[in-house]
Each structure stands twice: as structure tokens, then as C-alpha cells.
Copies of this chain bind each other. A is one copy, B any other.
């Protein structure tokens, strides 16, 4: 039997040296990418355009990222981090006042604000759209952005189960979708308007059910 030599398979460009990377260029690329997506939309945002606006060679982008979507995803993650830093670090849990409905309504109202913030809208839509059709990017988008946030709901719902505010046989990972997914769909697909009243209603419906008691 012939043993296959441990071929590196791909031509595998000799991985660039991260330590020499220009921080200046990276930041400029993030800013250019976000600005262009906001101004011209995702499809009209091109790698050449980002490079030109960032005052950077195209190769500098291709050296560190695999695609336009990758650049934008990192830029958007970075934007989130910087926003979190500005707000004194990211929350690692949802509020827990003991009043589950009130806590959920508060958090969803904040999400409504965020979804309507034009600074977030353009890149968030672009990445979501790309993720729908581009599975690896979609999974990364979910894993890095969506799932951590959903996990906070799981934690809060588990806490509610411990204090008897939520039925214990309920699966929190599914339960959270009852109020989160409707909002997500209305935003993504524009199937309806988004408002505090709407999210409040969702929480009420989800917690107390649709059937008569």
C-alpha cells in the first residue's frame, strides 16, 4: 500500500506574519468597509473601493481576508467591540429583577433601538443576507454574533425556571425564539413594523400563551 505523503494539499500561501501586520491599515480597512456599505450598499461595495478609500493596496486586503464578506464581518465585530468598550464593556448577562416579563421587555426594547440604528443597519443586513446564502459565513455570523446573545436569554430563562416563573419542562433555547424570532423576521424580511408595543406583546403572548387559560 502506498502511503500518501503528508501533502499540504493546497498551494497554501506561506501564512503571512501576523506580528508585522499594520494595525493602521487594518483599522482603515474596517472604517472604509463600514462606510462604503452604509453609503453605497453591500453589492456596490467592492474590494477595490475599500482599498482605495482606506489608502491601502488591494493585496493588503487579500493577504488577510478571503472575501468581501470576511472583511465586513470582522469590521462589524470590531465595531461591536468598540461600541461595547465605549459603553463600559459588553454585558455578560441580562437584567434579572425577578420580574421576567419586565426584564425581557426591557431587553427587547433595547434590541428594537439597535435594529433601527442606521449605523448598524447596513452592515447587519449585508452580513445577514450573505449568511443566508453563504453557509460558512452564515455559521460564523451566528456563532460569533447571534449565539452569544441568545445564550444570555437561555441563562435568564434558566434563572426564571429556578424561581418558578417559567415552567421547568420548557426548553429555554426554543422558548427564547418565541419572542426573539418574530422580531428578527420582521426586521430581516420586513414582514411587519417594529416597535416597543410589538415586542411587549410578543413577550406577553409567549409567556402566557394564546389559548384561553
Q: Given the complex of chains A and B, what is the CA–CA distance between A182 and B130 in angstroms?
A: 20
Q: Determine if A182 and B178 form an interchain contact, defined as CB atoms under 8 angstroms apart.
A: yes
Contact pick for A210, options B139, B150, B166, CB 8 Å: B166
Q: Identify which of B43, B198, B201, B211 contacts A207 (C-beta below 8 A).
A: B211
Q: A170 vs B129: C-alpha distance in the bound complex, in angstroms?
A: 32
Query: B142, A188: Cβ atoms under 8 Å?
Result: no
- Inter-subunit contact A205/B42 (CB<8 Å): no
Q: In the complex, which residue of chain B has the Cβ closest to the Cβ of A133?
A: B129
**Given the interface contacts A208-B211, A210-B178, A212-B167, does A130 sit within 8 Å of B131 by beta carbon?**
no
Q: Are A177 and B188 in contact (CB under 8 A)?
A: no
List B contacts of A181 (CB < 8 A). Answer: 177, 181-182, 184-186
> By the criterion CB–CB under 8 Å, are B178 and A206 in contact?
yes
Interface size, chain A (Cβ < 8 Å): 55
Cα of A101 to Cα of B129 in the assembled complex, Å: 33
In the complex, per-residue mask of A156-187: 1 if CB is within 8 Å of any chain B CB, else 0: 01000000111100110111011011101110
On chain B, the residues within 8 Å of A43 by CB distance are 133
CB neighbours of A182 from chain B (8 A):
174, 177-178, 181-182
Interface: A80 (CB within 8 A): no
List 19 interface pairs A-B (beta carbons < 8 Å), by A numbering.
Answer: A126-B133, A129-B130, A132-B188, A138-B190, A142-B191, A146-B189, A166-B211, A170-B210, A175-B205, A175-B210, A177-B182, A178-B182, A181-B185, A182-B182, A188-B188, A205-B209, A206-B209, A208-B211, A209-B209
Identify the 3 closest CB pairs spanning chains A and B, nearest first: A209-B209, A177-B182, A129-B132
